[in-house]
Structure 1
Amino acid sequence: MLANQESLFTDTLPGASHWSMVVPKGHTVQFKDVEGGANMSLLFYNPSNLLERYNAPDTLKCQHTFKLTEGNCLYSDMGRIFCSIVRDDTGWIDTVCGVANKRKVAQKWGERDYQSDRNQWKQNGFDALLVEVAKYGLGKRDLAANVNLFSKVSTDDAGNLLFAESHSKAGDCIDLRFEMDTLVVMTTCPHPMNPQTGYPFKLVDVCVFESEKRLDNDVCYNHRDENARGFENNRRYLAQSDAASPATSHCC
């Protein structure tokens, strides 16, 4: 967020928590790793048609990449762009490793439950996302491959996945500029490959502000020819939506 921009909404998500909100087109959400070593898992849906959701394979293959970072766009399964990554202090965002389930978390960090441990219980990413999507009438079959902000997973020459410890530093920010109204589902549960011996409760700040006007030299639009086509798909979809319903969307 620039110095002259005013935030419309701010919040802090504790570690092992989950949340969701509808972000209108033309707004940017900034995620900030407060302490370093955070993980923010995200899913995206079209609030007007929940069958349209984030598509990780299309996002990667159409931009010829294994990782995501500044300049990349995040695509729906309809070929439209939910949001563009306009800032990434970390240089690498994972979207291939998914989230941990209850069994994996119990194996790595032991079992705890909310009844006994309250906010220090060891929530897992799968159940956290499932709780949030249930608020919108969705279920297990609607949990697609997700994005993991602040986490880096690379490969070695043999194809083994390698988790980068201390990839994200305290104060690192990632800004997502939303190109269409989007339901954002999020959790701060740890990455499934995190090797920490203690369950990592890491805070993430969330800030929403109005996006600056997209210029002709926009880094995301010009990143690849495929992105230009994605923005055109958005333009056609939004033109139809505006004609059908002139009502204004509201944040949160």
Structure 2
Amino acid sequence: MSELLATLPPLARAAVPAHSTGFDTALVLWEEDLPGGCHWSGVLRRGSTLRLVDVEGRANVSALFHNHERPVERYNMPDTLKAQHTAHLAAGCVCYSDMGRVLCSIAEDTCGWHDPLCGALDAATMQSKYGSADYQTHRNAMHRAGREGLLVELSKWGLGRGDMATPLNLFSKAVADGDGRLHFEAGHRRAGQHVDLRFEMDVLVALSAAPHPLDPSPRYAPGPVKLVAWHSGTAGADDPCRLRCPENDRGFVNTERYFLR
């Protein structure tokens, strides 16, 4: 492992925690740095895994997933939660499409809780909380809203507002009190935490590293994220994500049949 790590760029080496398991660095496809507040999109092929690393313990990543071959099929938050009998996602969970197929699965996770409920920060809320900071004045330090960042990325692939769904907020924890009000737990995040998304389909992924909409910080200071992708293969018969519940096994079967050509 140490010999393989020595061959990687510094960013990729830093993004592979020493305690990580099941990661063959010889299979790394690419690595990239996503600054706080910025956005990114790309296609992750079936059988690849994307690791996201919270570099400083301040990250929130709003993520959208679409079937790259047929983008009308997209991540469905209600079905994802209902099928797995949960209100948050962590290792062993999957992200379902609105066609009952598994877009991606959480193969490894050191964070333990990812918020699927609260959506992305919009421009009006951002300006109300943090004030205005446009590009003309602040250049790359401008304030960027999560929703608008996701829309920019979707537009690069011919998609628009009608293709937006409720995104998954990676690294963020929002819990309900006795009256049903959601509260953001800032202490949940730690520097170096990572989550591995293994893609079971060819998926168009859109990411925004803007703040979580419920983040109580009065300062616009979203944290950076490291991205590393590698060849991993898909879920096997004994994979924990498949075995989590009968619904997940059926979801993987639906996905595998989709790729029978």
Short-chain TM bin:
over 0.9
1:96 is matched with: 117
Runs of 4+ in 1 over 2 A off after TM superposition: 1-6, 212-217
Q: Which moved more, 1:111-120 or 1:27-36?
A: 111-120
Q: How does 1:109-124 map to 2 (within 5 A)?
A: 109-124=130-145
Q: Give the paired residue count.
A: 240
Alignment RMSD (CA, Å): 1.2
2:177 is matched with: 156
Greater helix share, 1 or 2? 2
The alignment partner of 1:207 has SS state of: strand
Q: Return 5+ residue gaps in structure 2 as ranges.
A: 1-19
Q: What is the distance in 2 between the residues matched to 1:203 and 1:102?
A: 20
Q: What does the per-residue CA deviation read over 1:85-116, in whole Å, with 9 as the maximum and x for residues that have no partner? A: 01111110001100111110011111111121
Q: How does 1:29-44 map to 2 (within 5 A)?
A: 29-44=50-65
Asked whether the 8 Å contact 2:63–2:207 carries over to 1, the reply is yes
Q: What is the distance in 2 between the residues matched to 1:182 and 1:130?
A: 17
Q: How does 1:74-223 map to 2 (within 5 A)?
A: 74-212=95-233, 214-223=235-244
**Letter aligned with residue 202 of structure 2:** D
Q: Which moved more, 1:211-220 or 1:97-106?
A: 211-220
Q: What is the distance in 2 between the residues matched to 1:235 and 1:61?
A: 21
Normalised to the residue count of structure 2, the TM-score between the two structures is: 0.89
- How far did residue 165 of structure 1 move? 0.7
Q: What is the distance in 2 between the residues matched to 1:138 and 1:78?
A: 19
Q: What is the distance in 2 between the residues matched to 1:235 and 1:14?
A: 35
2:48 is matched with: 27
Q: What is the distance in 2 between the residues matched to 1:99 and 1:213?
A: 29
2:87 is matched with: 66
- How far did residue 226 of structure 1 move? 0.2
Q: Return 5+ residue gaps in structure 1 as ranges.
A: 244-252
The alignment partner of 1:51 has SS state of: coil
